[in-house]
Structure 1
Amino acid sequence: MSALSSDLSVGIDFGTSNTVVAIADSSGRVEAVTFDHGGAALKVYVTAMCFWDERHGNGRRTHVEGGPWAIEQFLEGLNAHRFIQSFKTFAASATFQETRIFRERYRFEDLLTAFLRTLVRHGGSKLDFAARNVVVGRPVQFAGHNPNDELAMQRYRAAFSKLGAEEANYVYEPVGAAFFFARQLDHDATVLVADFGGGTSDFSVMRFSHQGGVLKAEPLGHSGIGIAGDAFDYRVVDRVVSPRLGKGGFYRSMDKILTMPNHYYANFARWNQLALMKGSGDLKELRELARVALDPAPLEKFIDIVEYDLGFALYRAVSSAKMALSTDEEATFHFNGEGVDIRATITRGEFEGWIADDVARIAATVDEALAAAGVDAADIERVFLTGGTSFVPAIRRLFVNRFGEEKLTSADQFESIAYGLALIGQTEEPGRWAA
């Protein structure tokens, strides 16, 4: 990292799939914190953790790593381990109380604290939260069924406080992206910012104006929905993978033939839930079902994926196919591990049919942001898209049809929010932007 002045602010974009941290100084310079891993300087820290158990003397000790080090530890697989990903999705869930990892119980705030400690350890001295003005991004609406925003923010504050950021400001993620984008503007404009993450899609309408040579920003309206990249992944897993693992199959109970319970497959298709299936009672119940299944072979493959922690490999296979469909009319989905081999061709038309309801709900949420701001689509002069899901053709088409190709612009899909949050930390009243 190049030298910055001592008066620094930290912007943290804690994402469902990836986390980015940026540092800004009073001169307006901003840059991402880099993480040196395997000779590469990474600006993106994967939002994942690997816990592993080792013998120490007469007892055992649990260790934890995060980001690329978590993936490395998981792939080495030298010790008993638990791999956790997409855990941000639990933030606003009142039904998620805790999960057990080896001998310890972890609430959401404990998971987030453990993750942040790995982030700080690898990020270096500039990530001294206690000595910085810290601005943390948050969704307009958290992911999950019936999300409890107040609970999520209590959990966020508890975790960040443990690292010294008791006075952190929490700002809507699209507002952070808007601050980054505003540096490109040379005129007054009403801007729609669309931020597509792993768990949520968030929208903010902002009015930027120049007053006395200073760019001023006024938030006009916000909206959000718990549908984004992970929801699209769910559709792929549900349509392509789960039917090959026993979904829709039958088992015998007493003298009745019953359909396999769907809730196991619903959990399997959600990355955050899949990461916990091994430690819950699901695995035991699946083994019992396999003994009475009319065709146990597919269910045994399901069990192998859970038992051998193949969720991350499945995630990469789904992401690869989804990315290919952003540029090609069809893609080959291929997952292989521990004797489980699934291959299928997916056309873009099929994929768009699977996600059509999700896209329609995202479109309705865009309308909510416009209504909250009191503007029409014609009043929006620029549309700033950020996040990997913004490259999905069906999503981009939604904005082209609504606002016109000429109004659309985008930037680095990972860094823009963190950059903007750090810049907000340099404003006279960063708390003014708190959600």
Structure 2
Amino acid sequence: MTAAPLAPTIGVDFGTTNTVVSLTHGDDHAHLVRFSIDNRDLFAFRSALSFHSVQGAAGAANERVVEAGPWAIESYLEDPLETRFIQSFKTFAASQAFTETRILNKRYQFEDLLAAFLLRLKDHAGEQLAALPPRIIVGRPVTFAGSSPNEALALSRYEEAFKRLGFEDIRYAYEPVGAAFFFARQLKQDATVLVADFGGGTSDFSLVRFQRDPDGTLRSTPLSRSGVGVAGDAFDYRIIDQLVSPELGKGSEYRSFSNNLPIPQRYYAAFARWDQLALLRASKDMRDIRALERIALEPEKIAALIEVLDGNHGYALYRSVSALKEALSSQTQATFKFEAGSVDIEKTVQRSEFEGWIKPELTAIETAVGEALDRADLSEAGVDRVFLTGGSSFVPAVREIFLSRFGAEKIESGGEFESIASGLALIGRESDLDLWTMRAGAEG
């Protein structure tokens, strides 16, 4: 790949769980934007927002304080009952059903949420992003999350949000392709590389051929791509659905006149999804849930659901689920523990159980890998290296898909959180950008 002397570029990996930003400064290297909070230095900026209402002066309207990343988490932990905390909102990007949400009496469309998030990220980056490069390469999944994702809608929403930061030359590149550019720096010889990127909302795959010219220049050719709108958050859903929701009334019944009827499943479908959980507390469904407590056959379970929602314990639930996934990545058995007010759920989980729960997602991932190979007219033998990146690449059942198909000797991993952003910034230095990127409104 050619690194001509171009102006600085910026790569942004806006992820479902974390967002990472990388810059080039007139050289062949990408430099991560870093953030300092509570004596911690980090580059993975949590993709979360918090909205907190602060009482104004006498007679004045309340002020709305917006925070993002780890500062959003801090704000929420300081005052959970009065803070609206939103995470995994990238999942809404391609959803036509999501038009807006009301937060502290103000309407927010998706582009408003993303712009607010990006502006706070920029502020916290300080001097690193004080002078923004003219060109930005934004990562996008191969397949957006959701049952019927609208790609054009998602990119138009991205476009509006990034324009509010002042960018004019905005281009989009597939996230696994960004990871491929990051990985290619360590190649010593020609290779066909399969990149598997596992984010919070999507699993994306890209096949790229890298060849080195006699002068040492590394050239790259895209071969194929595929993706599926399931990943880490879908695994989280299965854990909550199996371990938590039954304790909060899922599968139980309520009395209506002389009939026993099942508690509506839709409450628990929303409860078990991070993007929906933030909205459930303020929805009309919440009124119905409160009414159900009086007629439920197991009212204590509905009361527990109400307590978790009223207490805004979504982040505590997220931490419990994440801890279980992490433990099961290195152990064959682990304990799930969730405490929220009077709600206390503790269960032992076998790794084999968890793998059974996520079998539909594993099948979808394996199918997408096969599609990438078919589109490139390649067999497993035609792939020289496999680069696994993203948090869910640590899940043993996910890794086994690639170990069994390609063999351990071809598998590489690393840079699980930085690879995409750094690769995107490097793509911005390519002489033929149209080969690797697209603009909003153009065909991918």
Compute the TM-score of the two structures, normalised by the length of structure 1. 0.97
- Displacement of 1:421 in angstroms is 0.5
2:341 paired with 1:338: yes
- Are residues 1:172 and 2:174 paired? yes
Q: Which residue of 1 aligns with 2:113?
A: 111
Residue 256 of structure 2 corresponds to residue 259 of structure 1:
no
SS in 2 for 1:257: strand
Partner of 1:396: 399
Distance in 1 (CA, whole Å) between partners of 2:381 and 2:318 is 39
Distance 1:343 1:251, change over 3 A: same
**DSSP-derived class of the 1:105 partner:** strand
Which of 218, 225, 232 aligns to 1:215? It is: 218
Query: Separation in 1 of the partners of 2:176 and 2:162?
Result: 21
Structure 1 distance, partners of 2:268, 2:349, is 20
Say whether residues 1:126 and 2:128 are aligned partners: yes
Equivalent residue in structure 1 for 2:71, among 69, 72, 77? 69
Displacement of 1:428 in angstroms is 1.9
Q: Deviations over 1:79-111 (max 9, x none)?
A: 721000000000000000100001100011110
Change (3 A) 1:377 1:78: closer
Decide whether aligned partners of structure 1 residues 96 and 320 sit closer, same or farther in structure 2, where only a CA change above 3 A counts.
Answer: same
Structure 1 position 309 matched with structure 2 position 302: no
Stretch moving more, 182-191 or 121-130: 121-130
* 1:268 and 2:281 correspond: no
Give the Cα separation in 1 of the matches to 2:168 and 2:161.
Answer: 9
Establish whether residue 278 from structure 1 lines up as the match of residue 281 from structure 2.
yes
- 2: CA distance, partners of 1:282 / 1:307: 13
* Distance in 2, Cα, partners of 1:273 & 1:429: 40
Identity over aligned pairs, percent: 51
Is 1:296 matched up with 2:299?
yes
Aligned to 1:387: 390
Specify which of 63, 82, 85 is matched with residue 83 of structure 1: 85
Q: Distance in 2 between matches of 1:15 and 1:219?
A: 23
1:381, CA displacement in angstroms? Answer: 0.3
Contact 1:222 1:369 in 2 (8 A): yes
1:313-345 CA-partner distances (Å, limit 9, x unpaired): 101100000110000011100010111111001
Q: Secondary structure at the match of 2:54?
A: strand
Distance 1:75 1:352 in 2: 32
* CA deviation after TM superposition for structure 1 residue 432, in Å: 2.9
DSSP 3-state at the match of 1:332:
strand
Q: What does residue 415 of structure 1 align with?
A: 418
| CA separation of 1:131 and 1:388: change in aligned 2, threshold 3 A | closer
**Distance across 2 between alignment mates of 1:225 and 1:68:** 28
Equivalent position of 2:140 in the other structure: 138
Following the alignment from structure 2 to structure 1, what is the Cα–Cα distance between the partners of residues 187 and 77? 45
Q: Which residue of 2 aligns with 1:205?
A: 207
Shift of 1:195: 0.1
Alignment of 1:138-157 (within 5 A): 138-157=140-159
Q: Secondary structure at the match of 1:360?
A: helix
User: What's the CA shift string for 1:153-202, capped at 9, x where partnerless?
Assistant: 11010111111123211000000000000000011110000000000000
Contact 1:169 1:431 in 2 (8 A): no
SS of corresponding position for 2:210:
strand
**Maintained 8 Å contact 2:10/2:133:** no
8 Å CA contact retained: 1:98, 1:105? yes
Are 2:98 and 1:96 equivalent residues in the alignment? yes
Q: Matches of residues 3-18 of structure 1 in structure 2 within 5 Å?
A: 7-18=7-18
Q: 4+ runs of 1 displaced by more than 4 Å? A: none
What secondary structure, in the 3-state scheme, does the structure 2 residue paired with 1:143 have? coil
Q: Which runs of 5+ in 1 are unaligned?
A: none
- The corresponding residue for 1:39 is 39
Counterpart of 2:283 in 1: which secondary structure? Answer: coil
CA contact (8 A) 1:25 1:426 kept: no
What residue in structure 1 maps to residue 253 of structure 2? 250
The residue type equivalent to 1:28 in the other structure is: D
Instruction: Report if the CA contact (8 A) 1:129-1:165 is conserved.
Output: no
**Distance in structure 1 (CA, Å) of the matches to 2:389 and 2:399:** 11
| Partner Cα distance (1:132, 1:396) in 2 | 39
2:375 maps to which of 369, 372, 381: 372
| 1:6 Cα offset (Å) | 10
Gap regions ≥5 residues in structure 2? 438-443
The answer on 1:361 being equivalent to 2:364 is yes
Secondary structure of residue in 2 paired with 1:168: strand
User: What's the RMSD between the two structures over aligned residues?
Assistant: 1.4
Contact 1:335/1:342 (<8 A) preserved: yes
CA contact (8 A) 2:21 2:33 kept: yes
Q: Secondary structure at the match of 2:330?
A: coil
Alignment partner of 2:169: what SS? coil
Task: Identify the residue that residue 28 of structure 1 maps to in structure 2.
Answer: 28
The equivalent residue for 1:350 is: 353
Residues in 1 aligned to 2:425 and 2:73: alpha-carbon distance in whole angstroms: 27
TM-score normalised by the chain length of structure 2: 0.95
Does structure 1 conserve the Cα–Cα contact (< 8 Å) formed by 2:9 and 2:133?
A: no
